[in-house]
Every structure is written in structure tokens, then in C-alpha cells.
Amino acid sequence: MVTGGSGFIGANFIRYLLEEAGFEGRIINVDKLTYAGNPDNLADIEHEYPDRYIFSQTDICDKAALENIFERYDIDAVCHFAAESHVDRSIVGPDAFIRTNIQGTFNLLELARSRGDRLSLFHHVSTDEVYGSLGADGLFTETTPYDPSSPYSASKAASDHLVRAYHRTYGLPVTVSNCSNNYGPYQFPEKLIPLIILNARSGKSLPVYGQGLNIRDWLYVADHCAAVWEIMRRGKSGETYNIGGRCEKQNIDVVRMICRLVDELAPAIKPREGLICFVKDRPGHDLRYAIDCTKLEQELNWTPRETFETGLRRTIRWYMDNTAWVERVQSGEYRRWISAHYGTSTRG
């Protein structure tokens, strides 16, 4: 079972398993299809692997529907991506984050525990934001104390603690990964990199919080997917692994690099950097995140394949080549299509 498999990272993970990793089993994609879950992300996969890829529109907060899926498909492993994940949305409406990220994870853990020896692994995907903010120096390690700053990161911290507690209390076989900022194909356009790409391409303003000095470690999504699969295959039960790109960038430098690459790939009369505008910083905006992924590199022999420049170039090309996908996710047509094909109720 892959939860949140129609979202950005989940869809890329399913593609990775079926197209690159040599996975020969069956994948049950459980996704509620909120605004960020998009069946288009895996439409070709559904067609190409009809016996090995199964989609169920199900809310992980609906325990009865989840239980039906566990039993119906004899689930033997869970990779848990499903989460409300946008910090700005958590500040405006934190209740959905508490419900999905905490209650939904609890439901999955209880059902996984009920399967006993039939369940081989519960892998929980989390974020570096649970660690809070770094100063100018240092890196987050697997033993860094938690210090979340937003309702989003607090809800993810709570779910991390639940997963570890189920391992220690009940012996549930679990692994946990905390990753840095992902980017790549199929990311919903509210996030920094796709937003800036699309606005730059269209000649719209490029909003940057504060002065753009906040620093993030960037990780190409395919590298993240490969790391998660290595952890699931070879990681030690009960352990946490940090996944990072070793690629720290100030937000303003990310935006400028996007402008330069978009100018190169789609020349305009004026450089896109002139579209940058600074806006009021968001509350509780952490200054710096940076991941130490030494444990993952040394124990599981994983390293990212993409540099920031190569990954960003691939990402920009993808958004430029998939304008129909972009228009669809941003339009009322997409929401109407979801309603017509999947309805508004939860299904098992």
C-alpha cells in the first residue's frame, strides 16, 4: 500500500517502483484526492500495469474503509506518504493537518498492527521541518531534537513519534525517513519551484518571502524515491534515516537560477529577474534547513544522482513540455473531472 500515491512524491515513487526499481509486486494506491492529489499523475501507469497497479479513493481518516483495503488486498507493506503538507495552508487552517497527519497515521498504524506477522514493514515518510530552524552552521542528524515551528511540522512531528512508539511498544516493523525539500515533475504549483517556473514562463511577478535569505536543502524527487526504496529494502527496523541533497540554497538564489534557465530555454525580451518582488515574510518562517545524510550514504550506499542544476533543468523542461497538465490542475475543469469520475464520497 502506498498512501498519498496520487500526490507529487507518491506518484513519482510508484513510477520509480514500476519503471526503474524492478519491483514485481502489486501496488495499492490509497489517496483521498484532495486538491494536490491528481489521477492524471499516474494515468499511463494505470493503463500499462492494470494487474499490478490499483487505485482506491480513500481517506486515511476513514478507518473502516482502510480496514477493508488491508483485508481485501492482503497488504504486507505500507509506504506512508499521505499528508497535508503546505506550511502556508497549515497556518490558515491547521485542523486538516491535525486530522490527516496525526489521526490518519494512527489509523494506519492500528491496522498495520492488527495484521501481525502478515505485515513486513511500515515505512513513514516525514520532513526535515520537524527539527525546527538551524543557525548559520550545523546540520540536522537523526538524533537532532524536534522543535517544530508550524502547525504542519508539529503534526508531522507527532506522527513520527507515534510510528516510533508503535515499534517500541508493539514491535511493529517500522522505518522512518526525514527528507529535505523535494522538487521535480508533478509538483503542485503552489510550491516555490513550480510556482516560480510557471510565473516566469508567463511573465508574472515572482513573489519571494522577506528578502529571500531563508536557506533550504534541495532534493530531486527521483533521488528521494530511490532512497526510500533502499530504506524499505535494506534499512534496519526501528531506525530513522535522513534524506538530503547536500544542496543548500538561499531562496533568492533558487529564484534567480530559475529565471536564468527559463530565459535560456524560452528567451524573452527582458530578463525574468526583473519580475522578482519581495513580499511580507510568513509567520514562524524557519531560517535554515540542512540535512546530514551520512547514515544513509554509509549504511545503504545511497547518494543523489542529480545536482541542483541538472535536476532544476529537467524540472523546468518538464513543466514547459506539460502545459496541458499544468492548465488542468489549475482549472475548474480538473475539479469537475474528479467529481464526475470519483464522486465526493470515500470509497474502499
Catalytic residue set: 128-129, 152
Cell 507527532 belongs to: 158
Say how far apart CA 116 and CA 173 lie, in whole Å. 10
Strands of the 248-250 sheet, one edge to the other? 181-183, 215-220, 248-250
Nearest Cα neighbor of 217 from 331, 159, 117, 133 is: 133
Distance, CA of 86 to chain centre: 10
- Helices 192-202 and 308-321 cross at an angle (nearest 10°) of 60
Written as nine digits, the cell of 19 is 519503471
Please report which residue ranges of 27-172 form alpha helices under DSSP H.
43-48, 63-72, 87-92, 95-98, 105-114, 151-170
Beta strands 206-209 and 276-279: pairing type?
A: parallel
